[in-house]
Amino acid sequence: MEQFKMRIIEILKEDARRTPALIATMLGASEAEVAEAIRDLEKANVIVKYATVVNWAKVDDERVTALIEVQITPERGRGFDAIAERIYLYPEVKSVYLMSGAYDLLVEIEGKTLKEVASFVSNKLSPIERVLSTKTHFVLKKYKQDGIIFEDKEEDPRLLISP
């Protein structure tokens, strides 16, 4: 991919609210060139979605996030893809990754309660044919996501003493 489009992707990844006019200024290009490049990237499915990163700990909307390690037996002719597709079609599933190591898939889900997440694992995920085992990890606190730090830094109230 050409360097110009890669730079646009990096700029939008950092902040998707940046306008073509601002990006053009940052890159020393015309707004029309930037707008056309963005349209091309969207059409080619390189830019798939513009999303907002929310610090849910600051919102009165309780959510439970879990990361589930899944061991599976691959399907002949389709490998891991068929089972991954079956899993990612559930609306509570936020991400599915094929992994190397001790397990095959890493599934990220979100629910309103621990009970809801447990129900998903026991009633929907585990019964899938070819799923051998699952191991669920609950996210207790998010410190950083997509390059964004969620922690509010406390200012040191002590005075600086210099010699």
Per-residue model confidence (pLDDT) at position 146? 81
Each domain of the chain, given as residue ranges in start order, spans: 3-44, 58-145
61-103 tens-digit pLDDT: 778 999 999 999 998 888 899 999 999 999 999 999 999 999 9
Give the CATH architecture of domain 3-44. Answer: Orthogonal Bundle (1.10)
What is the reported pLDDT for 163?
A: 67
- pLDDT at site 142: 86
Tell me which CATH code domain 58-145 carries: 3.30.70.920
Three-state secondary structure of the chain:
CCHHHHHHHHHHHHCCCCCHHHHHHHHCCCHHHHHHHHHHHHHCCCCCCCCCCCCHHHCCCCCEEEEEEEEECCECCCECHHHHHHHHCCCCEEEEEECCCCCCEEEEEEECCHHHHHHHHHHHHCCCCCEEEEEEEECCCCCEECCEECCCCCCCCCCCCCC
pTM value surpassing 0.85: no
Q: Which residues of the chain have pLDDT under 50?
A: none
The pLDDT of residue 32 is 95
